[in-house]
Amino acid sequence: MDQLTRLVNKRLHLGVCGSVACCRAADLLRAWRALDLHVSVTLTPGARQFVTPLLFAALGAAPVYTDMFTPGEDVFAHLEPGQHAHALVVAPASADALARLAHGAANDMLAAQALAFDGPLVLAPAMNPRMWAHPATQANAALLQERGAQIVRPGCGGTACGDQGEGRLAPLTDIFLAGLRALAPQDMAGKKVLVTLGPTREAWDGVRYWSNPSTGLMGAALAVCAWLRGAAVTAVCGPGVSYALPRDLDRRDVTNAREMHAVAAALWPGMDMGIFTAAVADFSPKPLGPHKFKKAAAPQGFSVDFTPNPDILQTLATARAPHQKVLGFAAETAPDMAALLPLARAKLARKNADLLAANRVNSADSGFAAPTNSLAVADATGREEIWPNQSKADAAWDLCTWLLRL
């Protein structure tokens, strides 16, 4: 979601505690600032043993807090994040910080700011694996979670001290997305959303397949967008989808169209929304055998017979319950956007969808593998729009908003 502009001017406060991992907090700051978020920072005394306030100020953090009651600083600086920030993220969060936050201590700037903060709180612990596993630390984390804090659990692996286990700072993508989720409206909370994304591969011999250039970026943007806004998301991913999705998003990997249909159909009765972005092959070749087909076997060429694949969008849209909403996609080749809109309208009716987005795949800045999309969008109430080229993250955000209002 590095091209999302729908959270511009939101305010986030970042707390940084003493840990070898605190140098990575600068990369978090850089990523959030790239989205034009306002980010302020507090460095604990332990953090300042590893990094300096100047580093964070140089990367755009404002203000950068250090100690309580610093001469010349606002005596009420410990209250400022609670008055202006929309979310508070502590990354890395040390064992000491977890203990102080859990028990309401206010003996340093960050602890006082957290105690006076009543918005969303995200904590990303980082420490020695034995410290993280200690019952006291686990109890503090559980208590904070019961009070509504989101814990971005540490990752597993080697730590700076040489120990192995759970305790190292979570992947930055997880913390980055958790911060965005804390800033986003939770207007999809309680919704269960199914997203299909990526291509399918239909084998015609033991090693070759029939496919298309889809990378799944549009579907990944929609899956992450729905997750940011509070939905419980299940993503059915075709082969080659390599985008980082949130850790608590339910990902199901499939290869061909029939597998995708079977998995999606099994999940569909428990969903509130279906977002079908996958570029599913309409036909499958009849395989020429389980082994590699040799050139010598057909020196003059050969033919491959194709059979229709299940129509996932139409099948599930037709079988839906009254409360279920369906967003479908159409990959089209059209001379211009005006010619795309009738195609979107026709597919909307044919597939029995609530909302249909058509994009041009014969344009370099739209469709397969492009970071941006130009869309013709139509819904079942008769509303139609042509959207100018924009990032797929922004298009996903606006499509989720439209689907929610149907």
Annotated binding site for CTP: 282, 292, 310-313, 329, 347, 351
| DSSP sequence for 143-186 | HHHHTTPEE-PPEEEE-TTS-EEEEEPPPHHHHHHHHHHHHS--
Q: Using the Cα atoms of residue 50, residue 54, residue 60 and residue 66 in order, give the sign of their dihedral.
A: positive
CA distance 194 to 148: 26
CA distance 260 to 208: 19
Q: Which of 17, 23, 156, 161 is catalytic?
A: 161
CA distance 360 to 367: 6
Tokens standing for 49? 């043993």
In the annotated binding site, the residues are: 282, 292, 310-313, 329, 347, 351
The question of whether 161 is a catalytic residue gets the answer yes
Burial of 53 (0-12, 13-18, 19+ CB in 10 A): middle
> Which residue type occupies 144?
L
Q: Using the Cα atoms of residue 157, residue 159, residue 164 and residue 170 in order, give the sign of their dihedral.
A: negative
**DSSP state at residue 78:** G
Q: Which residues are catalytic?
A: 161
